Amino acid sequence: MKFFIRTFGCQMNVNESEIMAGVLEKEGFEWTENPQEADFIILNSCAVREKAEHKLYGAIGYYEKLKKKNENLVIAVGGCVAEKERKNILKRFHGVDFVFGTRNYMDISEFYNKAKEGKRFSDFTDKFDNITAELPKHPYSKHHGWINIIYGCNKYCTYCIVPYTRSFEKSRPIEDIMNEVKYYNDNGYREITFLGQNVDSYGKDFGDGKPKLNILIREAAKFESIKRIWFLTSYPTDITDDLIEEISKNPKAAKNFHLPVQAGSDNILKKMNRRYTKEFYLDLLDKIKSNVENVTISGDIIVGFPGETDEDFMETVDLVKRARYERLNIAEYSPREGTISAKYYEDNIPKRIKNKRFQYLMNIQKQINHEENEKYLDKTVLVIQENKTKSGAYLGRTINNKVVIFESEENLVGKFVKVKINKISAGPLYGEIISKETDLNFEKVEYYI
């Protein structure tokens, strides 16, 4: 029996696919990259924008046709579109055998067995308590482990479907997360990423209301093999001074925050139900930058939110110029059925204007990237090598998330290498290897940028 998983959307979905793959392999299924030869196809979907949802529907249409060649083929749809549409997917696509949710994906093999009995069904039971480090997994990377530490979101930004598809916030117990860190440590992993829609809300639901991401980072850093600890995504009002302090003093904590702002105009922020002002956000960036050496910040912005005037947009432009992001995801507003903004605010910014604002911001960000990257020219950086790029060169990342491209004769994936930067762009930095992990004196250089 062979299974094929296609994952759309965020890293949380990727992590959940890793667990589904692990569960299926434990039950004797075999992984395939080729849907044509699969007996079981799982689509793990994303609902954040309309485009992602349409991509899913296109994919279902394609995979359904494979049933003509293989009548034993079972097709399942999980993830956020499944949560949003539930039985509608079964009604619309007769080739889909079952739909399941964002908190019961670990039952995937039982679902398959049930589908083989010939029933088409949907199951959205909340099995949060069954999400533990004991679940088998098939990690996609051999050196970087992903760990979902907090599920759901309580923020209800008016444009966002996530609180509806991933439900309320629930944090996994610290001991269980540490067991998962131990698993990666014992398997020789170098990096881990703690994942959550609001990763810095972690632990607020344990009773005392205090976020505890700082404790997780501190505890995870005690594992010898783990050299870098990433965390994503942050919400501006949940970042505590304790967290900033832990990141600044802990050499293993990644010096990078993914801290979406969404808009620069207080008026739009309010309509989005983001719970801060432009000033608050910029002050927070100042605080982070003055406390954490070499820190980089990445962000998300939505352009063309209902009612966004030219003045509102110029506030966003001003914010982007002052924030000097290391990376910026820009999205055109896409109304999502079921959210507050889709219900109460007309999507009244024409596509043409949305696109113009998108391009305008992109160009500014490109220029900022280029200027910021100039600081790295002729410097030596320490990266962990990742997979090859399409051009055949290798890619690596610094602890502050700068992407570096370099040639390497040996496959040093997952290993530290020192690279001297000799060319820059608005995207990656380029350089040549000057020493490899085996030559490095780790006592001295292990953690520098």
Please state, in angstroms and rounded to a whole number, the distance separating the CA atoms of residues 254 and 398.
9
Q: Which does 300 bind (CB under 5 to 8 A by kind): ligand SAH, ligand F3S, none?
A: ligand SAH
Query: Least distance to ligand F3S from the beta carbon of 155, Å?
Result: 4
Distances 125 to 93, 106, 235 between C-alpha atoms, Å: 22, 11, 28
Distances 264 to 49, 270, 281, 303, 358 between C-alpha atoms, Å: 21, 11, 9, 10, 14
The reply on whether position 262 binds ligand SAH by CB under 6 A is yes
* Count of other CB atoms within 10 angstroms of residue 372: 16
8's CB contacts (< 8 A; 6+ apart) are: 43, 44, 45, 46, 52, 55, 56, 79
The reply on whether position 47 binds ligand SAH by CB under 6 A is no
Please state, in angstroms and rounded to a whole number, the distance separating the CA atoms of residues 333 and 369.
24
Q: Evaluate whether 208 touches 196 at the Cβ level (below 8 Å).
A: no
Query: Least distance to ligand SAH from the beta carbon of 269, Å?
Result: 13
391's CB contacts (< 8 A; 6+ apart) are: none
Binding residues for ligand SAH, rule CB under 6 A, total 16
Give per-residue burial for 247-270: e unless 16+ CB within 10 Å, then b: beebebbbbbbbbbbbbbbbebbe
Query: Least distance to ligand SAH from the beta carbon of 143, Å?
Result: 24
Query: Least distance to ligand SAH from the beta carbon of 197, Å?
Result: 4
Query: Least distance to ligand SAH from the beta carbon of 9, Å?
Result: 9
Query: Least distance to ligand F3S from the beta carbon of 102, Å?
Result: 12
- Write the binding mask 120 to 159 for ligand SAH: x where contact by CB under 6 A, - elsewhere: ---------------------------------------x
Q: Report the SS3 class of residue 385.
A: strand
Please state, in angstroms and rounded to a whole number, the distance separating the CA atoms of residues 243 and 213.
7
- Structure tokens of 332? 């055109």
Q: Which does 334 bind (CB under 5 to 8 A by kind): ligand SAH, ligand F3S, none?
A: ligand SAH
Whichever of 103 and 155 has its CB closer to ligand F3S, that residue is 155
Query: Least distance to ligand SAH from the beta carbon of 219, Å?
Result: 24
Whichever of 198 and 373 has its CB closer to ligand SAH, that residue is 198
Binders of ligand SAH among residues 195 to 254 (CB under 6 A) are: 197-198, 233
Please state, in angstroms and rounded to a whole number, the distance separating the CA atoms of residues 357 and 354.
5
Query: Least distance to ligand F3S from the beta carbon of 154, Å?
Result: 8
Which span (119-127, 148-156, 182-190, 201-209) binds ligand F3S, by CB under 6 A? 148-156
Q: Which does 163 bind (CB under 5 to 8 A by kind): ligand F3S, ligand SAH, none?
A: ligand F3S
Which span (156-164, 211-219, 236-244, 343-351) binds ligand F3S, by CB under 6 A? 156-164
Whichever of 250 and 267 has its CB closer to ligand SAH, that residue is 267
The reply on whether position 168 binds ligand F3S by CB under 6 A is no
Q: What is the largest CA-CA distance in the chain?
A: 64
HEC readout, 206-274? HCCCCCCHHHHHHHHCCCCCCCEEEEECCCHHHCCHHHHHHHHHCCCECCEEECCCECCCHHHHHHCCC
Whichever of 221 and 303 has its CB closer to ligand SAH, that residue is 303
Residues that bind ligand F3S (CB under 6 A): 153, 155-157, 160, 162-163, 197-198, 235
Residues that bind ligand SAH (CB under 6 A): 48-49, 159-160, 162, 197-198, 233, 260, 262, 300, 302, 331, 333-334, 336
